[in-house]
């Protein structure tokens, strides 16, 4: 008898629930990987005692996937910290401000769109004024007194989320952005490349005007590492859920090499690794970051490789299905509110670093 799960073909019928679709009909290839990813998330990675980090790349929020998929997971206590591109956080604000984005054909005349001052993100269109008005909103907020100092991106996003949420409420847009939801739920958000977005461009422009806001990237590294260390040192586990790849993916995964290699603190790696990607390792797009390769860097606990899944599928397809599956299983946890514990966790990391300085570990 071959190992594995027997495939028993049955017809799809009307009224099928998403969990039934995933469990019964995603039988092989990347459908099966998506089923495995859904089950690892619902049954293991998002269990009590696991700290879940979510990384976000690709233009997901312009497509509305911030409010429709990420926010419900935040509010259900299933995402504890986030690493996102600045672009996803910035474009999500358009909806908070009541602006309209449109789904259209990707095969339009771009020169004509340019002449009509219409911006295109593949098959998403919006007026150029959406950018200009969003920039104006950011600049009005970022000159407020509480921004006039050096801070990490978690604090920047938390303060910005406070203003965004107040604006959503004032305008009655009916939208909740990732920034707004994370602010209300105490979920820290990091941007690994803070200058690489319109949000960062506006921070830079304000510096030319004498604004005192500066980004402290070192505190971002220490805080994110402290979150993972605290999760493991407290007897819990760490999970990383990766949408796409890029810098946010590595920033979340590098927390373990930071603990083991740089700070010389004994650790084994993240316990759960789930990624949705269309990149390939043989062309370099996924090199060093498949679960087995990441294990060689100390990023993934080798004992947990069976609970590491890479689904080679577009995040805009796979992630909504995964979210619907997890929520359909009734998964919900109390909010960890890690933002409010940043100082405490960094101090715990510092103490462990001091205690292990100069030590030679048994496996070296």
List the catalytic residues.
299
Q: What distance in Å separates the CA atoms of residue 219 and residue 76, rounded to the nearest whole number?
A: 27
Tokens of 18: 């998403």
Torsion from C-alpha of 50, 54, 55, 57, nearest 10 degrees: 150
- The answer to whether 331 and 78 are in contact (CB under 8 A) is yes
Q: What distance in Å separates the CA atoms of residue 240 and residue 345, rounded to the nearest whole number?
A: 18
C-beta atoms surrounding 184 within 10 Å:
16
Q: List the beta strands (DSSP E) in the chain.
A: 50-56, 81-84, 102-103, 118-121, 124-127, 150-151, 189-190, 214-215, 237-243, 272-276, 308-311
Collect all residues with Cβ–Cβ distance below 8 Å to 218 and sequence separation of at least 6.
none
- 214 forms beta bridges with 150
Torsion from C-alpha of 68, 98, 178, 26, nearest 10 degrees: 20
C-beta atoms surrounding 31 within 10 Å:
16
Torsion from C-alpha of 321, 327, 328, 334, nearest 10 degrees: 160
Q: What distance in Å separates the CA atoms of residue 254 and residue 46, rounded to the nearest whole number?
A: 21
Tokens of 185: 């739920």
Q: What distance in Å separates the CA atoms of residue 160 and residue 1, rounded to the nearest whole number?
A: 58
Tokens of 172: 């009655």
Tokens of 78: 């299933």
State how far the alpha carbon of 318 is from the alpha carbons of 10, 52, 89, in Å. 22, 18, 21
- The answer to whether 116 and 200 are in contact (CB under 8 A) is no
């Amino acid at each position: 008898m071959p190992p594995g799960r027997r495939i028993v073909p049955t017809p799809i019928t009307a009224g099928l629930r998403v969990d039934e679709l995933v469990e019964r009909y995603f039988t092989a290839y990347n459908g099966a990987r998506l089923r495995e990813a859904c089950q690892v998330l619902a049954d293991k990675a998002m269990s009590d005692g696991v700290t879940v980090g979510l990384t976000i790349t690709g233009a997901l929020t312009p497509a509305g996937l911030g409010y429709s998929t990420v926010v419900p997971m935040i509010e259900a206590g299933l995402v504890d910290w986030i690493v996102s591109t600045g672009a996803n956080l910035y474009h999500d604000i358009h909806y908070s401000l009541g602006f309209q984005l449109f789904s259209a054909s990707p095969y339009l005349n771009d020169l004509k769109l340019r002449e009509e001052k219409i911006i295109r993100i593949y098959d998403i269109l919006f007026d150029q004024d959406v950018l200009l008005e969003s920039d104006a909103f950011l600049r009005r907020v970022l000159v407020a007194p509480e921004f006039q100092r050096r801070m990490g991106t978690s604090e920047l996003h938390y303060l910005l989320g406070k203003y965004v949420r107040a604006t959503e409420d004032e305008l009655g847009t009916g939208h909740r952005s990732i920034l707004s939801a994370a602010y209300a739920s105490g979920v820290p958000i990091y941007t690994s490349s803070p200058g690489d977005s319109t949000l960062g461009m506006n921070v830079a422009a304000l510096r030319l005007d004498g604004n005192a806001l500066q980004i402290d990237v070192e505190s971002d590294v220490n805080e994110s590492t402290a979150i993972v260390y605290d999760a493991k040192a407290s007897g819990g586990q760490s999970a990383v859920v990766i949408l796409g790849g890029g810098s946010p993916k590595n920033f979340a995964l590098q927390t373990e090499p930071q603990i083991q290699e740089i700070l010389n603190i004994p650790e084994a790696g993240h316990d759960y690794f789930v990624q949705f990607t269309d990149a390939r390792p043989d062309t370099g797009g996924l090199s060093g970051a498949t679960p087995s390769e990441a294990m060689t860097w100390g990023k993934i606990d080798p004992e947990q490789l069976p609970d590491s899944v890479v689904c080679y599928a577009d995040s805009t397809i796979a992630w909504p299905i995964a979210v619907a599956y997890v929520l359909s299983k009734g998964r919900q946890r109390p909010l960890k509110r890690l933002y409010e514990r940043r100082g405490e966790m960094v101090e715990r990391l510092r103490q462990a670093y001091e205690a292990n300085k100069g030590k030679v570990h048994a496996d070296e």
